[in-house]
Amino acid sequence: MTTFAAVVLAAGEGSRLRPLTRNRPKPMLPAATKPILARVFDRVIDAGCTDITVVVGYQRERVQSYFGPSYRNVPLTYVRQRTQLGTGHALLCARDAVSSPILVINGDQLVDQQIIEDVQSAHTATDAVATLGVLHRHDVSEYGGVLLADETETDGPVESTAPVAEVVERPHDDREYRLNAGVYALESAVFDAIAETKPQAGEHSLIDAISRLIDSESGGPVPVRAVESEGMWVDATYPWDLLQVNSELLEQGVSRTQPPSSNELLAGDGEVDSGGSVVVSQTAHDRSDISVHDTAIVREPVVIAPCCEIGPGAVVGPYACLGENVTVESEAVVTHSVLDTDSRVRASATVVECVAGQAVEIGVGSTVTGGPGDVRVGDRVFEAAQLGALLADNTRDEGSVTYAPGTIVGPDVRVQAGVTVRGTVAAGTEVRS
């Protein structure tokens, strides 16, 4: 069996997820209660890779301090991309650290282990220089599209592997594209292709290098092939996508994405009340590091990290993810939301479709009403996005605050009591009535 060295690309910021990425890179944002990058490592390791090189750049200290020299007893080698000059440039930074064949995977997207295994198996069975994992999706306009040779008229699955005719970033024509899943098996020739490809807008793109390989075909073996997979693939491009990522993980059964040593608690093993809710008690789960009051209700699916506390009469779930050391006080409600580490929901607050960063405090009686709402991301406005509010790191309100649907609040914001917050609030602002 061919052994692949893995290169995980985790150097980018994720600018469309600001302000959450102001203090950390996108791969370190939460997927359930673990960073997206940890989920990627889990899949790579479960697919048999025991040699992982991580390309880091923006806020690299956040990655290296969290994971250290190894993950699940697999050594991690860090390579620094000092300036973010594209995915091709990021891969070139790892050239001296790996030997082919290599598995290259984006560190900021969630992919199923099946996709990785399909790519590895398909690559081993051919003479291709590059094998791409692709998925059948109706709309690929926000991502990468792959056109298959002689198959542009079919909606059916790819049998085994198929030659790639073209790869296009964010296509907007009506040709029959497959979605580029961001999982590649590559031979060492790809490094030369990257180096020889003219940068576009100052960046060396891995996609441009793969296009060069496609164009270099001259009667020999097909250099670039694709294999279609049915595995799970989820990406968080915009703030509200983080809610979808976490819902997808919970729907799939996040416990199956955890290593055996996982210390997260998932609803499903507790007592079930007459309404179908899961009543999680300290005794039922034998968890000394998670405190759930006897009168609290936890409605599955949820996932709860260690050192969380859920107070009397509080309701958590469904589709709630509580990071480490989160507190939900008495009579508070948290549903369809992601609360990152050290956050606190004060008594009688209601939180619906909310993404909260680290050390966020939602005050007594405050309300995040849930979407849809209009959300501004950069110079674009997305209408009716399913987001109650995004509250970045260290945001705090004094209570009885209402967050209008689609609200984006930057880090280190303070909100006075009784205020209604809407639109986009810049970092460090004090919001007064």
pLDDT tens per residue, range 181-201 = 999 999 888 888 888 888 777
Neighbours of 302 (CB within 10 A): 24
Q: Kind and range of the H or E element at 5?
A: strand 5-10
Q: Where are the beta strands (DSSP E) in 177-229?
A: 178-186, 224-228
- Rounded Cα distance, 418 and 404, in Å: 13
Domains of the chain, CATH where assigned = 5-235 (3.90.550.10), 241-431 (2.160.10.10)
Dihedral, 314, 320, 326, 329 alpha carbons, nearest 10: -10
Could you tell me whether strands 34-35 and 30-31 are parallel, antiparallel, or unpaired per DSSP bridges? antiparallel
Any residues with CB less than 8 A from the CB of 283 and at least 6 apart, and which?
none
Query: What's the pLDDT at 266?
Result: 52
Structure tokens at 381: 């406005």
Q: How far apart are CA 319 and CA 3, in angstroms?
A: 38
- Cβ burial 391-406 (10 Å sphere, 16+ → b, else e): bbbbbbbbbbbbbbbb
35 cis-preceded (ω within 30 degrees of 0): no
Query: Which residue numbers in the chain have pLDDT < 50?
Result: 151-158, 218-220, 255-264, 267-286
What is the pLDDT at residue 157?
A: 46
Entry field: residues in the chain: 433
Q: What is the 3-state secondary structure (H, E, C) of 62-127?
A: HHHHHHCCEECCEEEEEEECCCCCCHHHHHHHCHHHCCCCEEEEECCEEECHHHHHHHHHHHHCCC
